[in-house]
Structure 1
Amino acid sequence: MSEQFGYGTRFYKTVSDDLKSILPDVKSFSPTNLKYMRYFYEMYPDAVICPQVEDELITDANRPQVGDDLQIIFRIPWGHNKIILDKCKGNSAKALFYIRRSI
């Protein structure tokens, strides 16, 4: 997972510093963790998280349906997801196999 999108060498460091200054109590915004967040998004682009505020406004008929595969992604700890991202290098079918084995 190279820097294929042309992010500069200081991109993640700059974003990390900005987020840490805005959200000083949140400890999850290291440059490395931000890269893993991007890898996670790229691995599972169809993951849908329904906004909680709008939950009351969405009826069951038009509520987004998250497939079983997408639900299990969020059932394992972030550290496990990072290891799976490293091992699977963009192969979401392989990643889901390992996630199922982890649960």
Structure 2
Amino acid sequence: MRAAITELLRLHHSIGRDILQRQHDAGWGAEVIDRLAHDLRDAFPDQRDFSSANLRSMRAFAATWPDQESLVQQAVGQLPWGHITVLLARTKDPAVRDWYAAAAVEHGWSRNVLTHQINRFGHGLALVGRHDTQGSASTSASTSSSWTSSSSTSPSCASSSSN
């Protein structure tokens, strides 16, 4: 299953990178993505991945994580495509996006749980995430319980309680 996800991510990244390159070289506009989506759906009618919205997500994916080879070594490279589209749509800060990707992998979050966590905490977890990536065991423990519990502990409270 992991190999299939990796190959699908490589395909999506490659398509996104091609769109970026062609837009740069030829000045493609948004209507070209719509035309490409139509052409791809005609060529591959059994594939659901070629909608205009999904092609825009592939473009954003390649722009956000430009190095395909290192991508598979990052947390985002271990996530299904649906999780990645949630990250792209709901987070703007790269550090926050990467933090949520790592948390989703570590805790096995479904797409709905990932969406809920982002909606619940928003970008407030960025500070907690930065502490956590520096190897603070106490921060990791306190934030882990706040992610999975239904308490109203805010991320800022979780990070201050670990100090």
| TM-score normalised to structure 2 length | 0.43
Cα offset, 1:46, TM superposition:
1.2
For structure 1, the residue ranges without an aligned partner over 5 or more in a row are 49-65
The partner residue of 2:75 within 33, 48, 72 is: 72
The one-letter code matched in structure 1 to 2:62 is: Y
Cα offset, 1:27, TM superposition:
1.3
Counting aligned pairs with the same residue, the percent is 31
**Alpha-carbon spacing, 1:72–1:14, altered in 2? closer, same or farther (3 Å):** same
The one-letter code matched in structure 2 to 1:30 is: S
**Residue in 2 aligned with 1:83?**
86
Spell out, residue by residue over 1:11-56, the C-alpha distance to the aligned partner (whole angstroms, 9 max, x if none): 12100011112222211100000000000001100121xxxxxxxx
Give the Cα separation in 1 of the matches to 2:78 and 2:41: 26
**Residue in 2 aligned with 1:56?**
none
Q: Larger Rg: 1 or 2? A: 2
Q: Which structure exhibits the higher relative contact order, with contacts defined as CA atoms closer than 8 Å and separated by 6 or more residues?
A: 1
Summarize the alignment of residues 48-67 of structure 1 with structure 2, pairs less than 5 Å apart: 48=69, 66=70
The partner residue of 2:43 within 13, 16, 22 is: 22
Spell out, residue by residue over 1:71-91, the C-alpha distance to the aligned partner (whole angstroms, 9 max, x if none): 4212222121111112222x3
The one-letter code matched in structure 1 to 2:78 is: R
Cα offset, 1:96, TM superposition:
1.1
Q: How many residues align?
A: 81
Structure (1/2) with the larger helix percentage: 2
For structure 2, the residue ranges without an aligned partner over 5 or more in a row are 1-22, 106-163
